[in-house]
Amino acid sequence: MIKNRVDVVTMGCSKNLVDSELLMRQLIANGYTLEHDPDTPKGEIAVINTCGFIGDAKEESINMILSFAEAKKERGLKKLYVMGCLSERYREELQNEIPEVDKFYGKFDWRGLISDLGKSYNKELEFDRSLSTPPHYAFLKISEGCDRTCSYCSIPLITGKYKSRPIEDIEDEVRRLVASGVKEFQFIAQDLTYYGLDLYKSMKLPELVERISDIKGVEWIRLHYAYPAHFPVDLLRVMRERDNVCNYLDIALQHISDRMLKIMRRNISKQQTIDLINRFREEVPGIHIRTTMMVGHPGETEADFNELLDFVKDARFERLGAFPYSHEEDTYNDKNYTDDVPANIKQERMNTLMETQEGIALSINEAKVGKTMKVIIDREDPDYYVGRTEFDSPEVDGEVLISKDKKLNTGDLYDVRIDSAYPFDLIGTVV
């Protein structure tokens, strides 16, 4: 094991990734060398940032902890620390079950890890991050927590009430990141649309996006995890007017059946959802909508699912993900409903939904053939340069594979002619 090296492993979402990056900056300031998500852990210290969202994610996090616990016994790993959502929710149980872990931290008290290593937490670096992403883009977390009361969701139990970051703090962070070479910002929160209500008593997301878009050097802003109920529609004006705000919106709809939306406590109806989507497309021509759907929620009938399937066919979302319902303890559902849809039915419904979406995605991509689109280069592979359009978020959406006829620079933007299309990727040539 390499002395003074810390291996940091991040599970779950991009919000966790930001926490890991804040931690890594503190560790570097204290003289440690870092490796993020190493293929082969070699450090004498390891930190696992866990996810506690749904059953599969929890299982993955636990398996990762156990593999490092084994390394502590067999390979000379000296210190093992665990932080994040899983340990925020199940700290006591984990301490009892996995004693090999030196200490568990939650979602918000991980800064204590620095002092537990015998080092000093640098207050002046509180908002500085050691980026794990390519240097030209970064995730920008604008809030913590969630005030929504969706029936199935454990996130509010883990993260607590919604807490917006002040606009000025976010502006300062963006300026620092721009100065370090970041051009593209992925706005993230559990619920973007709620931003500002707690601090400013009104929805401030449109203003925040405008102010960040005014900062010199910000090339692209992309918005993740909006909530459909009470959507701040002035945001659409900002997207339409600002060239550096991508025509892209990630908004989790979860279902369309009025009956299911009510059971899920989503505070929106089918017609309101359809009207909202139509408004997106009218006010922001060419917008690409990413959404998420849930199948197998308690009470979902075959008729409910078929209504959802018909809606997906009609709406023709540019990007869509789906996941089967996971029954989480202490949620509203846990107290009021039985997990009554068999696992095989959940899986069948999800497969049907995603097969349908694949056909939609292919036809949408085929319509781009012959068009010239602006593409940012993420990396160089043996056969291609790999980039993304403004309609592609890193890690979750498709990519553009570009022939190596010309030398291209990672992080730069190029005009690319789309030559051919697959369901999730495009092939292009720099023009």
**Helix or strand run (H / E) with residue 164:** strand 163-164
Give the number of other CB atoms < 10 A from CB of residue 381.
Answer: 11
Q: How far is CA 170 from CA 3, 63, 138, 257, 290, in A?
A: 36, 35, 13, 38, 24
**Residue at 130 is within a domain:** no
**Residue at 332 is within a domain:** yes
Cα distance between residue 414 and residue 256, in whole Å? 39
Could you tell me if 120 and 141 lie in one domain? Answer: no
**Residue at 132 is within a domain:** no
Of 99, 125, 151, the one marking the end of a domain is 125
Of 59, 91, 125, the one marking the end of a domain is 125
Could you tell me if 73 and 154 lie in one domain? Answer: no
Query: 403-413: string of b/e by CB count within 10 Å (b at 16+)?
Result: eeeeebeebeb
Q: How far is CA 167 from CA 82, 172, 206, 209, in A?
A: 31, 9, 11, 10
Could you tell me if 215 and 98 lie in one domain? Answer: no
**Residue at 414 is within a domain:** yes
The pLDDT, as a whole number, for residue 74 is 83
The pLDDT, as a whole number, for residue 35 is 94
Could you tell me if 219 and 336 lie in one domain? Answer: yes
Instruction: Write the burial class of residue 341 (CB in 10 Å: 0-12 exposed, 13-18 middle, 19+ buried).
Output: buried
**Residue at 220 is within a domain:** yes
Could you tell me if 224 and 101 lie in one domain? Answer: no
Q: In terms of residue numbers, what domain contains 298?
A: 137-366
Instruction: Give the chain's mean pLDDT.
Output: 96
Residue 39 has pLDDT above 90, yes or no: no
Q: What is the pLDDT of residues 144-191, one digit of tens each?
A: 999 999 999 999 999 999 999 999 999 999 999 999 999 999 999 999
Could you tell me if 30 and 116 lie in one domain? Answer: yes
Domain count for the chain? 3
**Residue at 57 is within a domain:** yes
What is the CATH number for 110?
3.40.50.12160
**Residue at 131 is within a domain:** no
pLDDT confidence bin for 354, thresholds 50/70/90:
very high
What is the CATH number for 305?
3.80.30.20
Average pLDDT rounded to a whole number, residues 132-150: 96
Could you tell me if 344 and 378 lie in one domain? Answer: no
Cα distance between residue 269 and residue 285, in whole Å? 24
Q: Is 8 helix (H, G, I), strand (E, B) or coil?
A: strand
Could you tell me if 246 and 269 lie in one domain? Answer: yes
CB contact at 8 A, 318 and 288:
yes
Could you tell me if 203 and 347 lie in one domain? Answer: yes
Q: What is the pLDDT of residues 91-100, one digit of tens each?
A: 999 999 999 9
Residue 344 has pLDDT above 90, yes or no: yes
Could you tell me if 307 and 159 lie in one domain? Answer: yes
Cα distance between residue 272 and residue 349, in whole Å? 24
Cα distance between residue 161 and residue 17, in whole Å? 20
Tell whether the torsion through CA atoms of 240, 245, 248 and 249 is positive or negative. negative
Could you tell me if 117 and 243 lie in one domain? Answer: no
What is the CATH number for 426?
2.40.50.140
Could you tell me if 251 and 110 lie in one domain? Answer: no
Tell whether the torsion through CA atoms of 148, 170, 23 and 126 is positive or negative. negative
Of 312, 334, 366, the one marking the end of a domain is 366
Express as a percent the part of the chain with pLDDT over 90.
Answer: 94
